[in-house]
Chain A
């Protein structure tokens, strides 16, 4: 493999990591409150507002059922509005973020719903406000599950990022298709796949380890 190609792989890896990291960061920033709201706004719950819950749920479902490649194209005007351009690695962050928000929101909703309702009742009995219940009980108690969910989201985003080559987004997927597939360079393809495997493995094992460290439930005296 020529130094040129090697440089391309390094660059593509950096692009992928950057896109995924920023999209996951923004996705968590927006998906966390959305997920918490979805998990606490049904009838009789902490922030009971069944109508808002239903509407947001429908939007989340609609976004999640749109195939990612179609989403990328469909929101091009929005991407241009945010990023100033609709092509390139920076622009690709916009559809990745948009796709990750509902995904992460649903994962966080699931994690929060797993928290024992008895803890919510105990916190209410202490005079906690709904926001205190979220901040001091729901999120800390759900944290191990949230970390596992975010790990899953990161791995999925790595997969999504391969498709943003369609709008000129760089990254490993793009490199694999243009060099490995279209130019018949199997060694580039193999290298791209190897780097992706290493990335996924690293993310997954770090996520697992962190979740295990945060989980205080299984310890025995």
Chain B
């Protein structure tokens, strides 16, 4: 799935306040589900150490069964850690009682893949539910719900029932409901996985607004790399219950270290060789042939006129095979496949020029 980008996606991500302690911290957390009839013990998560910076959007990406659902549920106590510690705002929540968790959960919003709205309640009453649970009075509820429905753009649907809404509208109600008690943290459980690309984009834009304007920290789980690319400042890749890679989204997505990450990234940021060419590619240089390079542009140089400069200053023909320019967490990122002469000194001149421009260049192979 490809999510077309709006121009404002290129706006730089807000810098995170430096030096602040993370709002959520996992310290070597493991989760095991005890053995049951006919089933041995299942280890869902192990050695999870992760920090969610205050005010950030952190995305956990993994395939289904990787443990990401369990991970997000540890943050509001819907699942309990088997070992390790979880700190939320510097409070160790690992040993909280069910009653203790109830108070915490009111300070944590959650939205779901299938929305989980009450079919028997109107949009208004769905958003009011967390406030009723928290014991707010009627006037306070009415004011807050009205404000939130305006925020998510559903003021006119107040008296409707969920069955009368589209998927995107339902998720907007879910977001309004999750924000009703003014939580500091919003947990998103595959929040856009049941939506079409266009609707996904508008929900992600809303989540980004919630993050930037209300300062709500967002922890989301997804199996879709576009979600990470579009809104996440930071990313953690989870595989087989372990975090195999994590860090700044831009760094992780542009320089994936782990094969799982690379596979996720390939589909979105990678550029494939034209079909016929891939078959003709040889590992050793072919006399009189050409060399195929992948040039990766990141940050400021993504928009520099590299190719025309090469042809112009070196007088060497550079044949563009395929290319793509994109943005990750608001920063431009491009990838270009080109063909340059294989013979020396032209080849070395091109590689040298690219290196001097600080561009990552990979030799993919040679063709006759």
Contacts and interface: CB of A to CB of B under 8 A. Distances in A.
Interface of A: 116, 118-119, 121-129, 132, 136-137, 140-141, 143, 214, 216-221
A123 B121 CA distance: 13
A122 B161 contact: no
Contact of B163 (A118, A127, A132, A220): A220
Contact of B105 (A127, A137, A141): A127
Interface string B297-325: 00000000000000000000000000000
Contact of B102 (A116, A129, A136, A140): A129
B165 A221 contact: yes
Contacts of A136: 129, 132-133
Contact of A124 (B105, B120, B129): B105
Contacts of B105: 124-127
Contacts of A141: 118-120
14 contacts: A119-B116, A121-B112, A121-B116, A122-B116, A125-B78, A125-B105, A136-B133, A141-B118, A141-B120, A143-B120, A216-B119, A216-B161, A217-B119, A221-B160
Given A124-B78, A125-B108, 9 more contacts: A118-B114, A118-B116, A125-B78, A143-B120, A216-B162, A216-B163, A220-B163, A220-B164, A221-B160
A127 B108 CA distance: 9
Nearest to B180: A126
B118 A137 contact: yes
Interface string B140-160: 000000000000000000001
B110 interface: yes
Nearest to A219: B163
Contacts of A116: 116
Contacts of B278: none
A141 B160 CA distance: 16
B110 A122 contact: yes
Interface residues of B, number: 30
Contacts of B114: 118
Interface of B: 76, 78, 101-106, 108, 110, 112, 114, 116, 118-121, 129-130, 132-134, 160-165, 181, 187
A118 B118 CA distance: 10
B226 to A, nearest CB: 24
A214 B112 contact: no
A124 B106 CA distance: 10
B106 A221 contact: no
Given A121-B116, A127-B102, A218 B163 contact: yes
B133 A140 contact: no
Contact of A132 (B78, B120, B133): B133
Contacts, number: 69
Given A216-B161, A216-B163, A220-B163, A128 B133 contact: yes
Contacts of B102: 127-129
A118 B78 CA distance: 12
Contacts of A132: 133
Contact of A122 (B106, B112, B120, B164): B112
Contact of A126 (B106, B121, B164): B106
Contacts of B163: 216-220
A119 B76 CA distance: 16
Nearest to A144: B120
Contacts of A221: 160, 164-165
A116 B108 CA distance: 22
A31 B151 CA distance: 43
A122 B76 CA distance: 11
A140 B116 contact: no
A141 B119 CA distance: 7
A126 B129 contact: yes
A217 B105 CA distance: 28
Nearest to A118: B116
B164 A219 contact: yes
Contacts of B160: 221
Contacts of A118: 112, 114, 116
A118 B112 CA distance: 9
Given A216-B163, A220-B164, A119 B106 contact: no
A119 B177 CA distance: 13
B86 to A, nearest CB: 16
A121 B116 CA distance: 8
A121 B161 CA distance: 20
Contacts of A126: 105-106, 129-130, 133, 181
Kindly list the 10 A-B residue pairs having the minimum CB-CB distance in the complex, ordered from nearest: A127-B105, A122-B116, A127-B106, A216-B161, A125-B110, A126-B130, A221-B164, A118-B116, A127-B102, A140-B120
A77 B116 CA distance: 50
A216 to B, nearest CB: 4
A221 B187 CA distance: 30
A136 B120 CA distance: 10
Contacts of A217: 119, 163
A124 B79 CA distance: 11
A121 B78 contact: yes
A128 B110 CA distance: 13
